Amino acid sequence: MYEKKIPKGIYKPIELTDFPMPSNTITIVITPRERYSGIIECIDLLYQNTTEPFNLIIIDLNYPQKTKREINNFIATKMNTILYSLGLITPMSALKVIRHKITTTYTILLDNDSRVSANWLPPLIDSAIAENIAIVNPLTLEKDGVDKGAQLRSHLYTAEIRTVAVNNKSYLIEHKTFRRALPAKIPNNIAESDTFELHCVLFKTNVLKEIDIPSMVIREHIDLSLQVRNLGLKIITQPKSVIIFDNLGTRMTLSDMKFFFFRWHKQLTFTSAREFKKRWGYDFYSEQAMYHWVFRRKIFLICRWLYLPVPVANLITRIAAKLKSTINPVWDPLSDPISHSKLLEHDK
């Protein structure tokens, strides 16, 4: 697996056994998603908006030394929190290491660019009590950022895993319901979902320990979801719990961009797609579109790093993406692949 190695002596992994944590019901694990900056705001809002007791593990995937000092200063008085350093590895690789050290009933995975809202936790816990529920999604909203749109809109309510046939070959495709809908248009009832996203998600810890954690950086959530379904367990969304994530609208620092380029390295994404096919027998219909997505994000991030406003950055990104797709068209033979698709369970 492609992972950069950190020189010896810079990072010394911390053993969780050296830091006994309270016997709470919930462990929250915060991991860098695509950047390092914003972690302090993430932790601060977590404590402001969470009244229930919890353990907190902050995963350090090569945070800059200044950021590490800020984290340590912030958590110095928090008895239920540790910073766990693993060097520059992928989030899934970090989850592989950390999951077996968690002893609480529930584990919540939270990206460091996600922000919890008031009263976010009780609805997730209440919804997870049923024996056949393995995973609970909150309603995930996104800020205006890399794609022009409303200031706040739906990123994930529920999602379907579907297949679509092209030239007698079945491809996997993910369909998000109410994608980019305004909050007022999103249902407020609990609903089943085929999958989840890692911006924020609750796992029953015993399930998280039972499934295999794939060495992937794309579609890893779908891999985990398929495993959960094979166990006969369910994924649901509880929209009374609301999470907001930064859709790359906030300007990145140079260290952020280095992590983003590592996280979305071509070798990692390509290898992930091949690993998924090896495990499940499907290519993704949108694989080339995903690579194009990464290209667009990189252009956008460079524009924002140069202090260009979001609208200007989006305009330049669209022009660059158009030029690229003109020279090297993205494979997308169906004008509306979702309308030609069917649920994966109906494909068997």
Q: What is the DSSP string of 8-36?
A: TTT--PPPGGGS-----SEEEEEE-SS-S
Which two three-digit tokens encode residue 272? 């992930």
**pLDDT on residue 11:** 33
Per-residue burial over 262-286, b = 16 or more CB atoms within 10 Å of its CB, e = otherwise: bbbbeebbebbbebbeeeeebbbbb
123-135 pLDDT, tens per residue? 999 999 999 999 9
Is residue 345 very low, low, confident or very high in pLDDT (cuts 50, 70, 90)? confident
Across the range 218-231, mean pLDDT stands at 97
Is the Cα dihedral 132, 135, 138, 143 positive or negative? negative
Spatial neighbors of 207 by CB under 8 A, at least 6 apart, are 134, 135, 228, 231, 233
Give pLDDT, residue 16: 52
Contact 115, 41 (CB under 8 A): yes
pLDDT of residue 133: 97
Residue type at position 156: L
- Which CATH class name applies to 16-245? alpha beta
End-to-end distance of the chain based on CA atoms, in angstroms? 32
Residue 176 has pLDDT above 50, yes or no: yes
DSSP one-letter code for 253 = P
pLDDT of residue 170: 97
Q: Cα(245)–Cα(144) distance, rounded to whole angstroms?
A: 10
Q: At what angle do helices 310-327 and 287-305 cross, to 10 degrees?
A: 140
Give the integer Cα–Cα distance in Å for 61 and 11.
Answer: 10
Q: Which of 191-195, 307-311, 336-340 has the lowest average pLDDT?
A: 307-311
Nearest to 183 by CA among 237, 239, 117: 239
pLDDT at 1 over 60: no
Give the pLDDT confidence score for residue 277 in this predicted structure. Answer: 97
Tokens of 68: 């590490």
What whole-number distance in Å separates Cα of residue 145 and Cα of residue 163? 30
When pLDDT is cut at 50, 70 and 90, the band that residue 247 belongs to is confident
For the chain, domain boundaries: 16-245, 254-330
Nearest to 86 by CA among 109, 112, 110, 63: 63
Q: What angle do CA 238, 218, 278 make, to 5 degrees?
A: 115
User: 296 CB contacts (<8 Å, ≥6 apart)?
Assistant: 146, 317, 320, 321
Q: Mean pLDDT in the chain?
A: 90
Q: How confident is the model at residue 112 (pLDDT cuts 50, 70, 90)?
A: very high
pLDDT at 13: 40
Strand duo 55-60 + 158-166: pairing: unpaired
Type of residue found at 65: Q
Name the pairing type of β-strands 169-177 and 158-166.
Answer: antiparallel
Q: What is the pLDDT of residues 273-327, one digit of tens each?
A: 999 999 999 999 999 999 999 999 999 999 989 999 888 998 999 999 999 999 9
Identify the residue with better confidence: 227 or 33.
227
pLDDT of residue 310: 84
pLDDT at 213 over 50: yes
Q: Give the count of beta carbons closer than 10 Å to the beta carbon of residue 132.
A: 9
Given this model, what pLDDT does residue 246 score? 84
Q: Which residues, including other chains, have CB under 8 Å from residue 303's CB and lie 6 or more apart? A: 312, 313, 316, 317
Structure tokens that stand for 128 in this block: 């997870």
* 179 pLDDT higher than 80: yes
- Alpha-carbon span 253 to 301, nearest angstrom: 10
Residue 5 reports pLDDT greater than 90? no
Global confidence as pTM: 0.91
Residue 149 reports pLDDT greater than 80 = no
Residue 339 burial by CB count (10 A; 0-12/13-18/19+): exposed, middle or buried?
Answer: exposed
